[in-house]
Chains A and B, each alone.
Chain A
Amino acid sequence: MTDKDITRLSYDVVVIGAGGAGLRAAIEARLAGKKTAIISKSLFGKAHTVMAEGGAAAAMGNANSNDNWMVHYKDTIRGGKFLNHYRMAELHAKEAPERIWELETYGALFDRTKDGKISQRNFGGHEYPRLAHVGDRTGLELIRTLQQKIVSLQQEDFAESGDYEARLAVFAETTITELMLTDGKVAGAFGYRREDGQFLLFEAPAVVLATGGVGKSFKVTSNSWEYTGDGHALAMRAGANLVNMEFLQFHPTGMVWPPSVKGILVTESVRGDGGVLRNSEGRRFMFDYIPEVFKAQYATTEEEGDRWYTDPDNNKRPPELLPRDEVARAINSEVKAGRGSPHGGVFLDVSTRMKPEVIIKRLPSMHHQFKELADVDITKEPMEVGPTCHYVMGGVEVDPDSTQSAVPGLFAAGEVAGGMHGSNRLGGNSLSDLLVFGKRAGEYAALYVDQTAERPAVAQSDVDAAMAKALTPLVEDAEGGENPYTVQHELQQVMNDLVGIIRRADELEEALVKIAEFKKRLASVRVGGGRKYNPGWHLAIDLHNMVVVSEAIAKAALERTESRGGHTRDDHGKMDPNWRKINLICSVQGDGVSLRRQPVPTMPIELLGLFDRSELAKYLTEDELAAFDESTKDGEKE
């Protein structure tokens, strides 16, 4: 194989990413008759979706028949602090049940209710029990089900043509480094195969991005190595826009010790089932952090909080169950005040509150996780937990119905798409999001192919440029160059310290200075060792994406001078109704990220009318409220 060798492949639809959204998109494109390729950075079936524990939110009404898409819609918008794209949230709430039911026809086995329907569980921010689940491994069930559906489609093709991959092929351990554009439209994608470093060119008029999130730019994260923001960066470089990049969800309870598992999630159910948070002085500090707006809904004494677990109808819930952002901030403050646990977290304790056998029955995988990974028996001692970077609400700005970005032929679904979750995502809405919009992405990508008369040709110069860029860091002797691992560690530290859970203007400015330095250093990153399965080389390529995405996050975070959902400014602690009307849009200009403001799409009155006026008053400006009053008055007259 010479350096310039390249394998050229032709497909109708190329799906980048083999998590829930990508697989669902590929299934839909294949069902529409399109020749489809799935590009997976890992092995088939290993994507980050497997990490999802709680469940997939869908208003099926199995556990409580009062549930319907409108309640789900309201919960989602409320969770996102009214910054969500209304249409995405609407489609999501309406279509989620069908997407879940469909999985059963693929062979999924959810936990059941007594009458044999899909069981649904309670979760933070959802008014009714709504999460379809399989114990605490729902994500695994989802990915396996979709994987097996893909295999079944391949079997159909095999029966027909003798070739499993006639219309649906999986390219495992393959990374796309650049999208190919011709006349501003998608023409294909360029990448390499990890195994041997072989370059691949996929010629295709439609590309679906389903690459997940960006968490690997942070030191403490629940995300895997794949989460380097590839889709975000590819989209920006191709000319698409990112929206809401300042909003990152920090899950309040990640493991902090031992180092090997730092950041790994401790499910919310631990607190739901009676786990309490204490600082090093043994104090249940969450009682000191109940914000004014929540005072009415949360217990103010330990006694009342404790009574809630057995009698939720007559008592208020304990403040450990405040929204994720509130709890994460409180833990952060305790640690900063020097009242943290030995390893820089706080204590999450179930051992003194529940009997060992109850803990093992209710929290089997947490018991298992701590026992096997940390050698900690949670029935005997408290867990040490702290906030961990979990999810990026921001992503590619897409048309809600078609999921198409500003670039014709480029679609995005799942975590890589922005807008759906506004400033904060509810637990359980991610798995349903990727099914709903994954399906739409596949469907509309297929439609786009149908409507494309002439397939755009990829320019050889673009291929050459992509190849040259990919090969730059790879040298015979890496001596004197930057070590990619060092750059990555430093970037993660900077993002964690300066663009983390609590942000300040001066720190964000400092972060941007540092990011500018990283950009320069990227040019001199060098790795030896050849092209065969060379992790150092792969990281050197991924680093470009991590840096550009980090820049987008930091820029947007500096610009938004308010605190809302997954964006907390120490120097602008309040939520500002005027900012609710503004989306921050990132795009690539020259060598850097440029930022502009754009109005948030206006929610139509029939959706806005689902909310109480008193609730709207917390989020909308005076003018908006006046307009709302005006239109409801009109409504009454009619």
Chain B
Amino acid sequence: MTTRHFRVWRGDDQGGALTDYDVEVNEGEVVLDIVHRLQATQAPDLAVRWNCKAGKCGSCSAEINGKPGLLCMTRMNTFGPDETVTVTPVRTFPVMRDLVTDVSFNYEKAREIPAFAPPADLKPGEYRMQQVDVERSQEFRKCIECFLCQNTCHVIRDHEENKAAFAGPRFFIRAAELDMHPLDARDDRKEFAQEEQGLGFCNITKCCTEVCPEHIKITDNAIIPMKERVVDRKYDPLTWLGRKIFRRDQLESQK
């Protein structure tokens, strides 16, 4: 057991500041344990959002020494023995209080994506899909909605004005998931991603992938493939030529 120095941002929409605490730390603990100890011993009203404490629910997103991460997945032994640990709320969303932010932006964006469109001719129980065909979408469904990718993405982190036009990485993987779903009945997912979700804002600097606690390859497996699928339809010279020559109008939506 040692005593460690912590700085925790405390405040609300009226303002706030980093507050200093000296707190006991035991072997094997994570940052969330320390925040809980602060609550129990020094600051009962310290607001923090958390749930499963096992990296499975994505509630305790925050920034630790400036890096976006889950409080429950940041082990204390990743810091130097005398290092001060600074914990702040995520920056991209409005603060409610202390470490808790209002993430409603994400729920609003989620509502704008057209839902899975079930095939009209299949009844429940009749769905047949091959494992290789569902695997890509399954990767995206690992998402625990911690919104760290949304928080880290500079498109909205540094440019509040882009929020209206940009859905963010979490919803690009949702778009990719549906576009790659073997039985989804819509075929305008690519256009939607480009025109309504602001796929073009992404300059693939990959911070979303870097912070993803589920290690989803957001950029390589979702965003870039979606950009490429847009290119398939809009810009590819060979596809265009192929359509002209072979009259294969369905080429771009090969199933």
Contact = CB atoms under 8 A, between A and B. Distances in A.
Interface stretch (B108-116, B188-196, B223-231): B108-116
A111 to B, nearest CB: 7
Nearest to B75: A375
B19 interface: no
Contact of B44 (A372, A484, A489): A484
B39 A485 contact: yes
A70 B254 CA distance: 44
B96 interface: yes
Contact of A152 (B30, B39, B77, B116): B116
Contacts of B118: 105-107
B39 A51 contact: no
A102 interface: yes
Given A107-B181, A117-B128, A478-B44, A44 B58 contact: no
A224 B125 contact: no
B138 A134 contact: yes
A530 B110 CA distance: 32
Interface of chain B: mostly helix, strand, loop or mixed: loop
Nearest to B184: A107
A530 to B, nearest CB: 7
Contacts of B53: 224, 260-261, 264
A529 B144 CA distance: 31
A587 B29 CA distance: 40
A104 B47 contact: no
Contact of B39 (A105, A158, A172, A536): A536
Contacts of A622: none
B45 A528 contact: yes
A259 B143 CA distance: 26
B45 A260 contact: no
A109 B124 contact: no
A46 interface: yes
Interface stretch (A137-145, A279-287, A432-440): A137-145
Nearest to A164: B111
Contact of A50 (B56, B97, B115, B129): B56
Q: Tell me which of B33, B57, B73 has the highest count of chain A C-beta atoms within 10 A of its own C-beta.
A: B57
A535 B145 contact: no
Nearest to A139: B56
A111 B56 contact: no
A326 to B, nearest CB: 26
B52 A372 contact: no
A155 B129 contact: no
Contacts of B110: 151
B27 interface: yes
A101 B129 contact: no
A224 B144 CA distance: 16
Nearest to B41: A485
Q: Tell me which of B56, B73, B129, B138 has the highest count of chain A C-beta atoms within 10 A of its own C-beta.
A: B56
Interface in A504-562: 527-530, 532-537
Contacts of A635: none
A102 B126 CA distance: 10
Contacts of A119: 131
Interface residues of A, number: 70
B73 to A, nearest CB: 6
B124 A260 contact: no
B40 interface: yes
A529 B45 contact: yes
B96 to A, nearest CB: 5
A135 B141 CA distance: 11
A530 B45 contact: yes
B44 A259 contact: no
B198 interface: no
Interface in A246-286: 257-261, 264
A105 B124 contact: yes
A264 B48 CA distance: 20
B184 to A, nearest CB: 8
A571 interface: no
A527 B133 CA distance: 54
Given A46-B57, A50-B144, A226 B129 contact: no
A387 interface: no
B28 A372 contact: no
A42 B130 contact: no
A148 B111 CA distance: 9
A101 B40 contact: no
Contacts of B127: 101, 104-105
Given A484-B44, A485-B40, A43 B49 contact: yes
Contacts of B72: 260, 373
Interface string A40-53: 00111110101100
Contact of B115 (A140, A148, A530): A148
24 contacts: A46-B57, A50-B57, A98-B124, A106-B118, A107-B181, A109-B129, A109-B134, A111-B134, A135-B138, A148-B115, A155-B115, A164-B111, A224-B57, A225-B51, A258-B28, A260-B30, A484-B44, A486-B40, A528-B45, A533-B47, A533-B97, A535-B39, A535-B45, A537-B45
Interface of B: 12, 26-30, 32-33, 39-41, 44-59, 72-73, 75, 77, 96-98, 100, 102-103, 107, 110-111, 114-116, 118, 124-125, 127-131, 134, 137-138, 141-145, 178, 181, 184
Interface of A: 42-46, 48, 50-51, 60, 97-98, 101-102, 104-107, 109, 111-112, 115-117, 119, 134-135, 137, 140-141, 144, 148-149, 151-152, 154-155, 158, 164, 172, 195, 224-226, 257-261, 264, 369, 372-375, 478, 483-486, 489, 527-530, 532-537
The 4 A-B pairs with the shortest beta carbon distances in the complex, nearest first, are: A258-B28, A529-B45, A107-B116, A152-B115
Given A106-B116, A224-B52, 18 more contacts: A42-B49, A46-B58, A101-B124, A101-B125, A109-B138, A116-B128, A141-B141, A149-B115, A151-B110, A164-B111, A224-B53, A224-B57, A258-B29, A260-B30, A485-B41, A486-B40, A530-B45, A535-B45
